[in-house]
Structures are given as C-alpha cells and as structure tokens.
Amino acid sequence: MTRKLKAAVIGSGQATIPIVAAVSQVAKVHYAEIVASISSRSAGPGTRANIDEFTETTTRAIETVGGATRGKAIIVLDPAEPPLIMRDTVFVFSEPAEPAAIEKCIEAMVAKVQKYVPGYRLKQKVQFERIEQPIDVPGIGRMTGLKTSVYLEVKGAAHYLPAYAGNLDIMTSAALACGERMAASMSAATRRAEVPVA
C-alpha cells in the first residue's frame, strides 16, 4: 500500500492544527485562522518559494484535519535581530461552548505535542470572548458564538539548528513521530497477518 503524506511547508501547520482539532472536540468550529511568525533566518529558499503552497495546504488542513468549516493561514517572516523564537497565534470561532472544557482539551493537546516537541508551549493563558452580536464569518455568513485565542511558542531543541528555528524542529519532529506511528501500525498489521488461522 502506498501512502502520500504532505507536510504543511513551514511547520506552523504541525503547531496550530492540533489546537483547532482540540477545540473541535468540544464544539463545532465555524472558522479558524492561524498566523505564523517565524524568523527570516529560519526560512530558506524552499520556504520562500512555497509560501503560496503553505497558505493553501495549511488552510486545507485547518479544515480537513482541524475540523473547521472554513480556515485561513497567514505567515509572517520577521527579520528581527536577534532572531525571534517561532510564535503562532490561533483564532477559533465556534458555536457557544464551555470555555473550561475547551481550555482542558487545548492543554491536553499541548501536552501531547510536547512529547515529541519539548519546546512547544502555550505562551499565555487561553483567552475567550463570547460574541453575542452576530458577526460576519468569512465564507459562512453572520453568526454568534465563542472566539478562542491561543498563543503558542515553538522553541527548537538547538541540537543542530538554532533555537529560533522552531518551525524546522517541529516539522522534523512531527515527521519522525508520524513515521514511527506508521511503522508501528505496519508492524502490527504484519504480525496479525502472520498469525495462523486455526
């Protein structure tokens, strides 16, 4: 069996889509938007040449993997010196839900990602705003709901790449974790196939 896996080019997809998915576990997500801010120094020619692909691929992943009805991805290449640590902002607009339940799911998801990316963390407490007057949701229409704002930081392990290259660190770490899961799944399937039928 052949499988095609495609990474969202910058690594911000691996950092932000789990947060959208966490909110989706509690409430229907109408719209999710991510803003990825990475150091200019950590964006090589491949990244720069594929920014359109990043926004399109990440937007699709916000919808198909994250569970949002509509998604949007924005990237900022920051030339600051010294280089900044990768920061991601996730805005989620969902149906009304209990903020404590959403926060609990987000914190659990952050802990899960930290298992393979130790430098992944909430930069501050999750913020909530109840939207009681209908607002325009791009591509959907006017509605009320709950806005959840999540601010993340991804610091690289600095084994080979600098600490500010969290976007590259999370990309390789996510690929490794995915590869390990696929190998374990394939190994288990092989063992099941080898068991003689009585």
pLDDT along the chain (198 residues), means of 10: 45 87 98 93 84 90 96 92 93 97 98 92 98 91 96 87 79 80 84 71
Does a cis peptide bond (omega within 30 degrees of 0) precede residue 196?
no
Q: Is 1 contained in some domain?
A: no
Assigned domain for 3 exists? no
- Tell me how many domains the chain contains: 1
At which residue do the structure tokens 């691996």 appear?
14
> Is 2 among the domain residues?
no
Is 119 domain-assigned?
A: yes
Q: What is the dihedral of CA 132, 136, 138, 143, to 10 degrees?
A: 40
133 domain residue, yes or no: yes
Q: What's the confidence (pLDDT) of residue 166? A: 78
CATH of the domain at 179: 3.30.360.10
Partners of 77 in beta bridges = 38
Domain that holds residue 28: 11-194
Which tens digits make up the pLDDT trace of 30-77? 999 999 998 888 888 888 888 888 889 999 999 999 999 999 999 999
Judge if pTM exceeds 0.95: no
Structural domain contains residue 167: yes
At residue 72, the pLDDT reads 95
Alpha carbon distances (Å) from 90 to 82, 136, 153, 189: 24, 18, 11, 37
Per-residue tokens: 50: 């594929």
Whether 79 maps to a domain, the answer reads yes
Degrees, nearest 5: CA angle 8-153-117 = 65
**Contacts of 7 by beta carbon, 8 Å cutoff, 6+ apart:** 13, 14, 171, 174, 175
Q: Which of 33, 41, 47, 66 is nearest to 171 (CA)?
A: 47
Amino acid (one-letter) located at 93: F
How far does Cα 59 stand from its chain's mean position? 11
